[in-house]
Structure 1
Amino acid sequence: MLDDNENSRDYRVRLFFKQKPEVSKAAILDKMDVRSPGFAPRDGKRDSDRLDFRHPNFVTNIGGKSVGATWSIRDEEIEYPGDLTPYLPALEQSWLWDDAEGPVGDSEHQLVVLDQTAANMRPLERLAMMQLLVASVVETHPCEAIYWEATEQFLHPKKFLEGLKEFAAKPWKAPGAFNVRVSRVIGYGERRDDDSRDMLVDSLGLGILGWPDFQCHFRGLDWKEIQQIIYEKALEVFEKGPKIQDGQAFPGINASQVWKCRYEEAILGPPRKVIDIDPGIPYCAGLRYAVTAGVYVK
């Protein structure tokens, strides 16, 4: 049994549809019977309207009580169909699907797949169970787009299913498992000049599973190289666990660079602990640059 974690958050994935789908609970369970034997409806009925599920293998400790992890599917209307404004940040960071705007804009309904009281599951088991349930719903109820809310990216349904099959032995490599975002920082504090135009690259998807994400706030470096570094560091955590210690150093883009890590609060939301990668002078940016270089930045 795993320990309680008071900082847990539900893991959500949203499936977008043009029209309201007629959800078949039995069809979803038929798929899950193959993918994860033991997955069952909480009410014991395969044909009821209650879309809540459990699995006997996953029990957590919350408040000193044994509580089973649960999964739910909810039917919701999209509040403003055709309005992409709420999704623009995710659309910009959806590296695996360049043309998601059309299907997302055409959708009016959504099925929300989420887990509850599941935060204390082992990270890879939690991720895999969500992937299997989403795949089962998508196969039985074809949708226009998948919004992997936990990693803030849109996925093409067909590509998601293909990727999940391809990386069955390594679910962290499947589409949606984690994302590496790239953002431009234009000004901080009272500064709004060219010297304050920095970039931030961070990972998203490890924090919700209980592991630290990564971030690097920098200037004067190729963001694609930083994105690749953070991608590789995130993969290391999935494959080996978080081994990096506070203050640990590792080579940068070239062997002459020594970059240090430290644990911090994330600069860009959602709120979470991250391993901050400091590329050192002259590449470090923001308030960290002020401390390192002795420059006052308000």
Structure 2
Amino acid sequence: MLEDTADSRDYRVRLFYKTKPDVPKAAILDKMQKRAEGFAPRDGKRDSNRLDFRHPKHVANIGGKSVGATWSIREEEIEYPGDLTPFLPALEQSWLWDDAEGAVGDCEHQLVVVDQTASNMRPIERLQMMQFLVASIIEAVPCDAIYWEATEQFLEPKNFLDCLEGVAAKPWKAPGAFNVRVSRVIGYGERRDDDSRDMIVDSLGLGVLGWPDFQCHFRGLDWREIQQIVYEKALEVFEHGPKLQDGQAFPGINATQVWKCRFEEAILGPPRKVIDIDPGIPYCAGLRYAITAGVYVK
């Protein structure tokens, strides 16, 4: 597995509200106790305005110092209520909520849920603790939309809660755990013809937990089939840990295809290490196509 600075990023989820929420700290703590016994306020007070939390289980010794993961809830206003422009990329990739635009556009307030100094946690536990806290918050003070910023997608709150209850043993199957994005690339440099129209399918959600995400830059293939392959590869990592190695190959869409993997920097943000899936000629695209086929791409 590659060393990756992406796993040091904070894990962030935003809860959107039409009206300003009154955050019930004590109620959130009560609900968290049922999900993660020991979860407690950092200031030791159930009724204070300080919304910072800790858990005694998630403490590590780093450089001779005891460093524990912390979780916080911050109240913020949405900068431009009703303006969906900043959220259009996420709305386009929100496969689980087709009509999210209406709810998101009506919201003016948000609670930002974030973990800090949590990169030493086991990935699954880190994901699950965030899921637990988000669920506890929206049970205590229901929101109108969830923006799972770590995976850049919007979720319908009721669907999130309903699904979370059914995947307790496999938190990666809950909505928001990871996303598989589909993007079209139009042109390189001065090229804008049909031959320069490629696509990128990539996963988002493993990198922030310390694992490599996946990407495939291709042309001439059905993006739905590539999306399914990337989805299955990401699912394998959650269930069994990273297994693919640099240079390793696996069967493509059909048994006659051999697709190779290699570690690369992600083409699309956020910056992170990925396992790049090379579908080979004539399907590979971008700089890889230029090198493999001897074609100069500006």
Q: Which residue of 2 aligns with 1:51?
A: 51
Q: CA deviation at 1:64?
A: 4.3
- Give TM-score, length-normalised by structure 2: 0.97
The equivalences for 1:58-73 within 5 A come to: 58-73=58-73
- Indicate if the aligned counterparts of 2:100 and 2:154 stay in contact, CA closer than 8 A: yes
Equivalent-residue separation in structure 2 for 1:193 and 1:61 (angstroms): 56
Give me the whole-angstrom Cα distance separating, in 1, the residues matched to 2:177 and 2:68. Answer: 23
Letter in structure 2 aligned against 1:8 = S
1:7 offset after TM fit, Å?
5.5
Paired residues, what number? Answer: 296
CA contact (8 A) 2:6 2:207 kept: no
Partner of 1:288: 288
User: Residue 194 of structure 1: CA displacement?
Assistant: 1.4
Question: SS of the residue aligned with 1:131?
Answer: helix
The structure whose RCO (Cα within 8 Å, separation 6+) is larger is 2
Which ranges in structure 2 are unaligned for 5 or more consecutive residues?
A: none
* 2:223 paired residue number: 223
| Counterpart residue number, 1:188 | 188
Counterpart in the other structure of 1:212: 212
**Structure 1 residue runs of 4 or more that deviate by more than 6 Å after TM superposition:** 3-6
- In 2, the alpha carbon distance for the partners of 1:175 and 1:256 equals 34
Aligned residue identity for 1:146: I
Whether 2:250 is the aligned partner of 1:250: answer: yes
Describe how 1:1-298 pairs up with structure 2 within 5 A. Answer: 8-298=8-298
Map Cα deviations across residues 115-149 of structure 1 (whole Å, 9 max, x no partner): 00011100000000000000000101101000000
Compare 21-30 and 181-190 and name the one that shifted more: 181-190
| Amino acid corresponding to residue 114 of structure 2 in structure 1 | L
**Alpha-carbon distance in 2 for matches of 1:72, 1:91:** 25
Query: Separation in 2 of the partners of 1:71 and 1:120?
Result: 14
Name the SS of the counterpart of 2:192 in structure 1: coil
Query: Aligned to 1:115, what secondary structure does the other structure show?
Result: strand
1:13-72 alpha-carbon deviations (Å, 9 max, x no partner): 000001111111000000001100000000000010000000000013445422110000
Q: 1:192 Cα deviation (Å)?
A: 2.0
Q: 1:192, 1:66 → 2: CA distance?
A: 55
> Normalised by the size of structure 1, how large is the TM-score?
0.97
2:97 and 2:4 mapped to 1: Cα distance? Answer: 36
CA RMSD of aligned residues (A): 1.4
Change (3 A) 1:297 1:83: same
CA contact (8 A) 1:39 1:55 kept: yes
Query: 2: distance between equivalents of 1:63 and 1:12?
Result: 26
